[in-house]
Structure 1
Amino acid sequence: MMVLLSLISGTTIMAQFNTVGRLDNHQVYKTKNPQEINSSLVDSLILNDSLKNEFIKELKARYMSVSYPLSKIKINSPYGYRKDPFSGKLKFHNGLDLHARNAKVYAMLAGKVIKIGQDRRAGKYVTLMHGNFTVSYCHLSRILAYEGQMVKAGDTIGITGNTGRSTGEHLHITCKHNGDYIDPMLIFKHIETVQKDCIATLSQL
């Protein structure tokens, strides 16, 4: 988990949150009587307001740096062993199935479209690369991305469907780290943590 967060988040994010301490003095100035504020304090106040505004922009940018793949999230089938819907036998499920009906599919992180296509198993799919991670969005009815395209979190890359080996319309997401399958919920938890932290920090300013 820590490897995932460090690779996706990067060190610059930590630097953004370190600016919180620089805003503490701003609260002190606001409690002083106006007659007691001299020119140097006014200069500091203006500087701190500028830092605060920049910090808010950074928080908003961080919030927008992640996105859930659908506007509504309902898990139909988690990652791991399950009863195969076709054979009825216990089989490893290499991804996460989300309930969807003709819904827009969003890139969860900024990255590059490294492959689009269609096969008998995944149906129409889009695969994105994020550093050492790849994420595939499968069983689409339409592909709205092209190979080599650079996307931001929240960009629409397709429309959900029922193509390939599927018993009904849904979005199947698979994630790999250095070529090995991992639970997509790790990225979902990362998205949740980033957005909650940003909202909590903004509410305290």
Structure 2
Amino acid sequence: MKYTEEMILHSESGYCMPFEAPQGQDVDLSLGYGEQVHPETGEKFFHHGIDFDVRRYMLSAVASGIVSGVGNDPAHGICLTIRYGEYEVTYGHLSSVFAQFGQRVKAGQTVALSGERLHIGVRFKGEELNPIEFLTMLYGNIMALQDAGDDGTAGFYEPGPETDYEKDKREIEELMLRFLPHYMDDLRCGAYTVPAHTEQSLRHIFTMGAMKEYFYERMPSLYNPLGLGRKAVPLACKVQNLLIADFLNYLALRHEAYLPGSGGDVKKNFMTKP
């Protein structure tokens, strides 16, 4: 399906999973989404969800929503479906259900008990999704909100693409810790203006990215609102190079601060070429 920004869902529960594993114990995915091979017959089949080996686990709502279905399915046994906005998340292979049809549930509220295992299926506006992408989106949102609540110096959760400034990375990070608030304030009040050729380069990069469908390759989240995936790595490198270069240009012009080994003769020559 085509991903859009409206697919971002915030999990107020602070959990991206409907269950919590005992401390020190990992829970493995026993059956993935998509085409699978039956372990006994060898026949191929399409699995419309994911399964976990979680026997008698308490299951919670991952966000605030309303119970839109309770029933018994021939393939997945006792099932419970909760609607979160345009999403519907179904828990299958249950032994007990603690919520009634039409009941409003809060994020983190216990709604069911798994049986011998747990099946999870996800739909958005009626269209089936890979539940792993849905759970990953929730995780990204939780991490983004936690990041926003700290001192603002936390880094990426995944390794970022390498830039032209890798050898000066530590020095640049130290300069950012010291001068980035001033940079943002000066941009906001107009004391510093991004050069026209830098702005034009950024516009060109994002236009080309849209034409090549780099955006919304994966489900968007607060952490990754444009849904950037592997295809967008070259775009991300170019954007980072331009932004770092502009920050260094700002330091030279406004604070006469330079990277180690640089001097006044490079004061106006930090910008990368478009």
TM range (shorter): 0.5 to 0.7
CA 1:126–1:195: 2 relative to 1, 3 Å: same
How far the C-alpha of 1:65 sits from its partner, in A, is 6.1
**Could you state the TM-score of these two structures normalised by the residue count of structure 2?**
0.49
Query: Could you tell me which of 132, 137, 142 is aligned with 1:195?
Result: 142
Give TM-score, length-normalised by structure 1.
0.64
The count of residues paired between Structure 1 and Structure 2 equals 146
Structure 1 position 74, deviation (Å): 2.7
SS at match of 2:17: coil
SS in 2 for 1:203: coil
Q: Secondary structure at the match of 2:149?
A: helix
Equivalent position amino acid for 1:198 in 2: L
- Would you say the 8 A contact 2:59–2:111 is kept in 1? yes
CA separation of 1:143 and 1:63: change in aligned 2, threshold 3 A: closer
CA distance in 1, matches of 2:58, 2:15: 16
The structure with the larger Rg is 2
The equivalent of 1:181 in structure 2 is: 128
Q: Equivalent residue for 1:110?
A: 64
- Secondary structure of the 2:55 match is coil
Three-state SS of the structure 1 residue aligned to 2:45 is strand
Q: Determine the structure 2 residue equivalent to 1:156.
A: 110
Identity of paired residues, percent? 27
**Between structures 1 and 2, the one with greater strand share:** 1
- C-alpha spacing 1:196/1:94, structure 2 compared with 1 (3 Å): same
1:64 pairs, out of 2, 7, 13, with 13
Distance in 1 (CA, whole Å) between partners of 2:66 and 2:79 is: 14
Partner of residue 80 from structure 2, selected from 104, 126, 130: 126
**Does the 8 Å contact 2:51/2:117 carry over to 1?**
yes
AA in 1 matched with 2:54: A
Gaps of 5+ in 2: 22-26, 153-274
| Greater helix content | 1
The answer for unaligned runs of 5 or more in structure 1 is: 14-61, 162-168
C-alpha spacing 1:8/1:149, structure 2 compared with 1 (3 Å): farther
Amino acid aligned to 2:142: Q
Distance 2:74 2:64 in 1: 28
1-structure distance, mates of 2:31, 2:98: 25
Which of 31, 37, 44 aligns to 1:90? It is 44
AA partner of residue 87 (structure 2): F
Query: Quick one: structure 1 residues 86 and 145, their matched pair in 2 at CA, closer, same or farther if it must change by over 3 Å?
Result: farther
**RMSD value over aligned CA atoms?**
2.2
